[in-house]
Structure 1
Amino acid sequence: MRRKARQQTKAENRPRFWGRHAVAAALDNPERRIVRMWLTREAAEFLVPPKDIPVTYAEAADLARLVPGDAPHQGAVAEVERLEDMLLADLLDQAEDGRPLLVLDQVTDPHNVGAILRSAAAFDALGIVTQDRHAPPESGALAKAASGALETVPWVRVVNLARALEEIAEAGFWRIGLTGDADTSLQEALGPKRVALVLGAEGEGMRQNTAAHCDALAKLPISGKMESLNVSNAAAIALYAARAAA
């Protein structure tokens, strides 16, 4: 009975991805195990899953009942296993000059993290680092916002972010914390070829201990008409600036 209960819990915790980009990227990722899929006949013309994946063909209205209300499933839903955790040391072993690393301090909104993953893929970032308990799990909303980048951008979850920042520094990264309270602009703070961009939570910003583990604090030069930017927008701008300065 206990084994059956554990298996049921595992099945209940499996995320469901929706949307053609998210599902197609999951199919293309050899590290991702897809348990089963639901497709409309129209979507099946574009998505051809391997024969070993069970597929149910249904109408769009039937698929809508498998995902949150109004989720744009585009005729494709997949139940998947979460990816295996990656060690920070393994990610840092892949470091290259000019490829920025993103560190997120308790950014919990799945849409923001998904959008950050998408920007990380667009600007060829090394990966992202988050806390394990203060970051969103893999989910359909996150995968949809990432538009396939969840499958391609390495994501490391750590227990202690301050300790991770120390390890990142030991790997030769210049750690820049983004905060509107800084006197230095991001352009002025950039310079070293290996940069870790540290961004704080929506609304609250970086915690004090996180900021203390940065080599520099910098701000984006935005107009006084706006107090701040959404964290995903800030990440995209900072990634562009880091890549341009490399």
Structure 2
Amino acid sequence: MKYDDDIRARSYKFRDEYVQATPWWYRGEMHLGFTLIFTTAVIVYCAAQLHAPTFAEWLAVVPLFLFGNWAEWAAHRYVLHRPTKYFSMVYKRHCAVHHRFFTHVTLEYKGHRHWRALLFPPFAPVAFVLAATPLALVIGFAFSRNAGYIALLTMAAYYLMYEGLHTLSHVTESPFLDRVPLINTVRRLHVTHHDPELMATQNFNLTFPICDTLFGTRSDASRSAREPMSPSGG
């Protein structure tokens, strides 16, 4: 299709320019490593602070998970894909970099220098945890110390899950991932989201498509808009 060919050509041209402009000192392994180490450290620290948590306290995971799913959907739809006064840099980073670097026909990443366009910036997990801390403190004060730590643990784990599923969604040529339940659905939906004509209207959940389904922004999960995830067809 001419549409796909034009998109592919523009994307690869942008990729070359972006990679060439990447600072010499950038190492994708360190970028990914910091994200993994920081979020895992927060999870381990919070878990170590728990003292005989009850089943009722662990139930805090459920509403926090659902809140995280909504926050992921809303931020993606209304901040990352709409220019706003206070978050213009975030919008530009997402739409002018990530969605030009990766399209529905150029979804793959090759080499550690591509991770700069794939992952959230290194400060993002720190900012996310800091933003989640006040809510965890309120929960800890209103319910129990354990509930507060479980809240922060859940939100850090959600961020880690988000980055993990998003990264897997950019792994192409993988018949194995195409057969794994849930992950194959997430991957197919993400292909559609990276179509330039559809990115501002469909599939804003990068993890479980709960809010996309509730608010009518989910595309047909049985087949992505234009291309299968891999030659196997997913």
Q: TM-score, normalised by structure 1?
A: 0.21
Q: Give 1 or 2 for the bigger CA radius of gyration.
A: 1
Normalising by the residue count of structure 2, what TM-score does the alignment of the two structures yield?
0.22
Q: Which has the higher helix share?
A: 2
Q: Give 1 or 2: higher strand fraction.
A: 1
